[in-house]
Amino acid sequence: MNLVIDKGNTFTKVYIFDGDKITARAKFESLDVFLLDKIFKEYSIQASIYSHVGNANDENISFLNAHSTFIKFDYLTLLPIINKYNSPNTLGLDRLASVCAAFQLMPNLPVLCIDMGTCITYDFINPKAEYLGGGISPGVNMRFKALNTFTAQLPLIQPDARKPVLIGDTTENSIKSGVMNGVVQEILGTIGTYEYQHPRLQVLMCGGDLAFFDTQVKNSIFARPDLVAEGLNTILQYNVQQK
């Protein structure tokens, strides 16, 4: 079994993979060696990968390195794809992981990965398994906060899962219309532009705000909530095979 650890700014997500299948998942505010020891006692872990933003936890890395075939994921890690990004050292590791998952799930096809997180990221891999880059725009909550922060009168609004009206009849509804419908049109327009250039385009969508949009985007998209974890597992498997 493989252990995939994705340490974010707020939470650390942990996944157990049996081959390509997720058999368990958990989310922790803090992950330490005591929790890791418990995981290793419960599951037969042979290999592990650790991806992080910010500072890495050196104690966790030492534990993983001592108890498994360990890969610390960074921009120098061997990949099953060709990374043609011009500044790989500044590339978010989650973006790189998502296109590795796309390569595994949909080989020999052009794939656009859309991650609906703090930012909305667009990442494209072509049929030759070349990652070319993509785009970054403000996420949903960032847009609501910007309207509140940079104006004198507009309130801070929280998104909800209901489809926003087109014509807002209150200030709150007008903000929801502008932000939520604006994001939908941005996504549709971006997908349409990619489809024009790459007619066989496939679209994978993930991220914390996925639930707000997966039913509103009418294109043939595939919702993969664990896309980044699947990509990290693909990278781990690839590196284990190279050893």
Active site residues: 94
* Distance (Å, whole) CA 68 – CA 27: 21
Backbone φ, ψ for residue 127 (5° rounding)? -65, -15
Distance, in Å, from the CA atom of 37 to the CA atom of 51, rounded to the nearest integer, reads 18
CA torsion sign for 67, 69, 73, 76 is positive
Q: Which of 225, 234, 183, 235 is nearest to 204 (CA)?
A: 225
C-alpha 228/C-alpha 100 separation (Å) is 9
Distance in angstroms (rounded) separating the CA atoms of residues 240 and 148: 48
CA 90, 72, 88 angle in degrees (round to 5)?
A: 20
Alpha-carbon gap, residue 107 to 109, rounded angstroms: 6
